[in-house]
Amino acid sequence: MRKTLSVAVFGGLLAVSALAGCGSSDDSAKGGDGGSGDKIVLGFSQVGAESGWRTANTESIKASADAAGITLKFANANGKQEQQIADIRSFITQGVDVIAFSPVVTSGWDAVLKEAKDADIPVVLTDRAVDSQDTSLYKSFIGSDFKLEGKKAGEWLLKQYEGKNEPVNIVELQGTTGSAPALDRQSGFQEAIKANPNLKIVKSQTGDFKRADGKTVMEAFLQSEKDIDVLYAHNDDMGLGAIEAIKAAGKKPGTDIKIITVDAVKDGMTALAAGEINFIVECSPLLGDQLMQTVKKVKAGESVEQRIVTEETTFTQEQAKEALPTRKY
């Protein structure tokens, strides 16, 4: 079996190719659009509309499909895996050319992925990973390295307490339970802060990546924990909800409680520039163009990179002030 490993940077995305015997025409799409025309038909199942990030991601996918001349069938699962599975099954029945989806959670996809494979409809994962052992069930996975994002958040915090010998109480707002970003941002952060035993996560609960839930959970944290030094929120929206709770409790976000979030959407960056958040790890939602390029290749029977990693940065308060005027999302 032929195995190749290659790395290339293009369009702000890092493509890491791990191809095992990847051929060309024999794995092209055969689903077709009912033979009605030349336009590629892409069925896309989106997680939902839980955050500013998700809104920007949906806009990116729709705009890029339009620009690429791809007919997009878009389904919103409203955060429910059963709905996503039903949407994917419907795409199979309709005989779309390619299916793409952002899986709400990591597990439970093997059966529907096999159904797509049996129907000769290639699948591309975007944004979030699945835990399927059989990687032949999808052609490519385009998205961030969530573990690295968590690590960057933890490393920034480590630096803040370098050389200090004081207990640091951290509360964590996790993303959707069982989702790849929640699992990886948690483990990456935990691994990084291990280097300083004074840094302790005293409370950790899901806020489902939503602003309202971030607020409610933070209210509960503030009631049960007297001394909270740091909030680590797995996305901006939960952090922004928590800021409301912190203010209502008479504390100053960013000063009395240090806040670290992930995403760097405009609302988060605005709060960072205003001093209410201390550090943001970027997670880019602009995956549309790369997805459409991959869809075209897959449909043409060309080989594609099995893993395409989004390139991302981090922002301090000063960097947010500079970046805000040209921020796209």
Shorter beta-carbon distance to ligand AHR: residue 235 or 306:
235
Which of the 8 DSSP states describes residue 33? S
Q: Is 73 helix (H, G, I), strand (E, B) or coil?
A: strand
**Type of residue at 173:** L
Residue in 31, 95, 181, 207 binding ligand AHR, rule: CB under 6 A: 181
Q: Which stretch binds ligand AHR (CB under 6 A): 45-53, 61-69, 110-118, 301-309?
A: 45-53
Sheet with 123-126: strands ordered across: 3-10, 13-20, 307-310, 140-143, 123-126, 98-101, 41-46, 71-76
Q: Which stretch binds ligand AHR (CB under 6 A): 46-54, 246-254, 272-280, 292-300?
A: 46-54
Distance (Å, whole) CA 183 – CA 160: 24
By CB atoms closer than 10 A (0-12, 13-18, 19+), residue 172 is buried
Distance (Å, whole) CA 208 – CA 17: 32
Shorter beta-carbon distance to ligand AHR: residue 85 or 265:
265
Residue in 53, 91, 109, 279 binding ligand AHR, rule: CB under 6 A: 53
Examine residue 315 and tell whether it contacts ligand AHR (CB under 6 A): no
Q: How far is the CB of 133 from ligand AHR (least distance, A)?
A: 22
Residue in 213, 263, 282, 305 binding ligand AHR, rule: CB under 6 A: 263
Examine residue 232 and tell whether it contacts ligand AHR (CB under 6 A): no
For 241, the token pair is 């909800």
Q: How far is the CB of 50 from ligand AHR (least distance, A)?
A: 5
Number of residues that bind ligand AHR (CB under 6 A): 12
Say if residues 110 and 78 touch (Cβ distance below 8 Å). no
Q: Residues in the site for ligand AHR, rule: CB under 6 A?
A: 50-51, 53-54, 127-128, 181, 209, 235, 262-263, 283
